Amino acid sequence: MMGRCITKPDRLAVRSVSMTGLRPMRLVFVALVLPTVLAVVLAVVLAGCAEGVRAQGPRSASGASPTAVVMDGAPGEALAWSEYGKEAFDRAKRENKLVLLDGAAEWCHWCHVMEATSYHDARVRKILDESFITIKVDVDARPDLEERYGDWGWPATIVFSPGAEEIAKYKGYIAPDDFVHLLEEVVRANRESHEKKSAPEIVRTRLSPDAFAYAARDTEARLASYWDDDEGGWGRMQKAPIGGNNAWLLHRARAGDAGSAEARKNAELVLHKQAKIIDPVWGGIYQYSAASDWDHPHFEKLATFQAPAIENYAEAFALTKDVFYKDRALAVRDYVKNHLTRADGGFYTTQDADLNAHDRAHPFMSGHDFYARDDAQRRSVGEPRVDTHVYARENGLLIAAHVSLYEGTNDPTALAAALAAANSVYATHATSSGAVAHDAEPRAKVLFLADNAAFGLACVRLHAATRDPVHLERARKIAAFIESELAAPQNAGLFASTKDPDASGVFATRRLPFEHEIVALRFFARLAEQDPAWAATHACFVADVMSAVTTPEDIHGQGRWLGDYLLAESETRSLRSRCR
C-alpha cells in the first residue's frame, strides 16, 4: 500500500462553480483528457482508498516493501521548482509542456520521502525536464489548493495540460519505478487524446424543516455505522482523533434526552483511547494512528488537530468533572504554548514528524526514533521543524479552543492566550474591509473562506467570554465580507475564495468547500445568538447556505467526518426556523 499524509482521509465530495454556471464535481480520477491512463493510475489510486487508510509504508509496483533507504525522508539536493502562479502556466503554454503540481505539506513525512527518492530519481528528472513544468506548493500556504486537492494527498501529484486543465491526479507516495511508468503514460496519452466532458448545471433550492430533519437522522445513522465499540472512534483500519465527531458526542451527551447516556459513554471511551496518541513528553496530539488501534502514532503535530483536542477534553471535563480530561486538555495546551506560540501570542501552524527533514546539514532522524526519547534526549539532538507561519484559520481554531478551555476550567491564562493571539493576528492580517488574509498580507489578491470562517468564529467566542464589543464588531465585518464576496449565485453555497485575477484553466473555477462552509455556518449561528439585529436579517441567508451543503453527495463524501455537519445543522436550526 501507498504511504500518504492526509488531514481528512475520507472526504471525497466537493462542489465547483464555473463562470458559466453551477457544476457539481466529485473528486474521482480525472479521465476526461486521458482515458487511456485510467487503468494504470487506478492501481495506484485504489491502493490508498479503503476507508481512507494511510499505509504504514509504501510499496513498489511488485508489492515488495521498500528498503530502509527508500523509507528515509532525509533531504537530497535542492530541486529547481517553479513557483505556483500565472508565470508558470504562461510558460507551459509558450513551451507547450504539461504542468506537474506537487502538493506537499511541510510537516508531511511521505512528502519528504517522495522528494528524497522519486523526485531525485534520474529517470524521473529526465522525463520532467523534457516534458513538464514542475511546480511545488506548500498546501498550508494555499487554502484553496489544500481544499481542492486534499483528497489526493499528501503528497498529491496533479498533472495539467498546457492550458491548465486537469489531466490526472495521483494520491500519496509514488515509488520511482511507478512514477516513471505513470509519467511516460501521461506524456504518451496527452499526444493522443484531447476529449473533454462537461457536467450538468444545477440550482439549489431551500430545504424544508422536514428535509433537514431527515438529513440529520440519516447523517447520524451514517456516522454511527463507522463506530468502533472496541477501540472507540470511527473506522477500523486507521484511528484518527476526529474533533467534530467527538464534539457531536459531547453535544448529545449534554442534551439530556434518551440518547444522552450512550453518547456520553462513547465520548468517554474515545477520549480515553485517543489519549494514547498525545505525546507523553511534550504534550500535543499526533495526527493519527496508522493501524486499527491507537498504538501506532504518526508523529506530525498540526494546529488543526491541537485545537479540537483542547476543546474536546475541556468540554469533557466540564461535563464530567473528571480530572483525566482536564489534564489532557492542559497537556495539549502546554504543547501549543511551548512549541507553537510566537512571542506576541500568534500561533504557528505545524511541527514535522521527523528531525531535520528539511536540513541536509544535520543528520536525519525519523519520528519513530525521535519521539521515543525523553525530553533531555530530544533536546540534545534538536527539535523537528516548526512551520512558523501564522495563518488566520489555524489561529481562529486555536483561539476558539482556548476559549473553550477557559469556559470549561476557569483558567484565566487560557483566555489571556486567546486574546493575545486574536489581537496580534487581527493587527497584521485584517484587510481594509475587516476581513482577514491568510498570512500577514492585508493587501493579498485572494482571500479565503477558511480563514474568515474560523477567525470569525473565534471573534464571536471571544465576545461571548468577555462581552467586549470589539470582538463582535470584528465578527460583523467578517460576516459581511463572506456574504458580499463569497456567496455563490443561485443559492449554491459559499465560495472557497475571492476571485483570483491570475487564475487560468481549472483554477478559474471557484470551489464550494463543504468543510469551510460548515465552519461558516457555525460562526453564523453564534453570531446570531449575540447579535439579534444580524439574526433578524440573515435567517434566510443561513437557511440557503445550510440547504446548499445538505445534499447526499456532499454528506456521503465526508466519509466518517460528519460531526461538524450535525453540529451546524443543530446550531442553525433555531435561526433557520425564522426564515419565511
DSSP per position, 260-298: HHHHHHHHHHHHHHHGGGB-TTT--B-SEESSSSSSSEE
Domain boundary among 143, 161, 192: 192
> How many whole angstroms separate alpha carbon 472 and alpha carbon 146?
29
Mean of pLDDT values over 342-352: 97
pLDDT for the residue numbered 66: 33
Question: Which of the four pLDDT bands, split at 50, 70 and 90, describes residue 196?
Answer: very low
Domain boundary among 166, 192, 218: 192
> How many whole angstroms separate alpha carbon 262 and alpha carbon 513?
32
Say yes or no: 505 and 570 in one domain: yes
CA dihedral for 325, 328, 332, 338, sign (positive or negative): positive
Question: Which of the four pLDDT bands, split at 50, 70 and 90, describes residue 74?
Answer: low
Encode pLDDT of 496-523 as tens digits: 999 999 998 999 999 999 999 999 999 9
Say yes or no: 260 and 326 in one domain: yes
**Minimal CA–CA distance to 408: which of 346, 336, 333, 302?**
333
CATH number at residue 312: 1.50.10.10
Least confident of 15-24, 363-372, 474-483, 565-574: 15-24
Neighbour tally for 65: CB within 10 Å? 12
Say yes or no: 238 and 114 in one domain: no
DSSP string, 307-337: HHHHHHHHHHHHHH--HHHHHHHHHHHHHHH
Say yes or no: 87 and 235 in one domain: no
pTM (2 d.p.): 0.85
> How many whole angstroms separate alpha carbon 543 and alpha carbon 558?
21
pLDDT for the residue numbered 190: 80
Q: Is 127 inside any structural domain?
A: yes
Mean of pLDDT values over 139-146: 92
Say yes or no: 170 and 253 in one domain: no
Question: Which of the four pLDDT bands, split at 50, 70 and 90, describes residue 447?
Answer: very high
Phi/psi of residue 135, nearest 5 degrees: -125, 135
Question: Which of the four pLDDT bands, split at 50, 70 and 90, describes residue 359?
Answer: confident
For residue 154, give the amino acid letter: W
Q: Is 459 inside any structural domain?
A: yes
Question: Which of the four pLDDT bands, split at 50, 70 and 90, describes residue 75?
Answer: low
Say yes or no: 71 and 177 in one domain: yes
> How many whole angstroms separate alpha carbon 321 and alpha carbon 175?
50
Domain boundary among 192, 218, 248: 192
CA dihedral for 306, 312, 314, 317, sign (positive or negative): negative
Task: Find where cell 493519527 sits.
Answer: 288
pLDDT for the residue numbered 335: 98
Question: Which of the four pLDDT bands, split at 50, 70 and 90, describes residue 77?
Answer: low
Q: Is 281 inside any structural domain?
A: yes
Say yes or no: 186 and 221 in one domain: no
Q: Is 240 inside any structural domain?
A: yes
The C-alpha cell at 83 is: 513557483
**Minimal CA–CA distance to 289: which of 467, 53, 105, 95?**
53
Say yes or no: 270 and 186 in one domain: no
Greater confidence, 339 or 21? 339
Say yes or no: 187 and 267 in one domain: no
Task: Find where cell 456574504 sits.
Answer: 483
pLDDT for the residue numbered 441: 79
For residue 279, give the amino acid letter: D
- Continuous segment of H or E residues that includes residue 547: helix 532-549
Question: Which of the four pLDDT bands, split at 50, 70 and 90, describes residue 204?
Answer: low
What 3-state class would DSSP assign to 489? helix
Taking all residues of the chain, what is their mean pLDDT, rounded to a whole number? 87
Q: Is 204 inside any structural domain?
A: no
- Continuous segment of H or E residues that includes residue 247: helix 243-254
CA dihedral for 291, 297, 302, 304, sign (positive or negative): positive
Of all residues in the chain, the percent with pLDDT exceeding 70 is: 84
Domain that holds residue 331: 209-349+388-576
Question: Which of the four pLDDT bands, split at 50, 70 and 90, describes residue 79?
Answer: confident
Least confident of 21-30, 113-122, 156-165, 382-391: 21-30
CATH number at residue 112: 3.40.30.10
Of all residues in the chain, the percent with pLDDT exceeding 90 is: 76
The two most distant CA atoms of the chain are separated, in Å, by: 66
Greater confidence, 255 or 63? 255
pLDDT for the residue numbered 151: 84
Say yes or no: 164 and 264 in one domain: no
CA dihedral for 543, 455, 401, 375, sign (positive or negative): positive
Least confident of 64-68, 201-205, 566-570: 64-68
Question: Which of the four pLDDT bands, split at 50, 70 and 90, describes residue 63?
Answer: very low
> How many whole angstroms separate alpha carbon 318 and alpha carbon 506?
47
Q: Is 318 inside any structural domain?
A: yes
Q: Is 507 inside any structural domain?
A: yes
Say yes or no: 262 and 130 in one domain: no
Question: Which of the four pLDDT bands, split at 50, 70 and 90, describes residue 482?
Answer: very high
Q: Is 369 inside any structural domain?
A: no
- Continuous segment of H or E residues that includes residue 151: none
pLDDT for the residue numbered 153: 76
> How many whole angstroms separate alpha carbon 238 and alpha carbon 288?
8
Q: Is the pLDDT of residue 249 over 80?
A: yes
**Helix intervals (H) in 347-442:** 367-370, 375-381, 392-409, 412-429
Number of folded domains in the chain? 2
Give 446's DSSP letter.
Answer: -
CA dihedral for 504, 510, 514, 517, sign (positive or negative): positive
pLDDT for the residue numbered 36: 42
pLDDT for the residue numbered 381: 97
Q: Is 192 exposed, middle or buried (0-12, 13-18, 19+ CB in 10 A)?
A: exposed
CA 247 to chain CA centroid, nearest Å? 17
The C-alpha cell at 357 is: 527533514
Distances from the Cα of 169 to the Cαs of 44, 270, 341, 467, in angstroms? 10, 34, 36, 48
Least confident of 189-198, 381-390, 448-457: 189-198
Say yes or no: 147 and 178 in one domain: yes
What 3-state class would DSSP assign to 169? strand
The answer to whether the CB of 234 falls within 8 A of the CB of 288 is: no
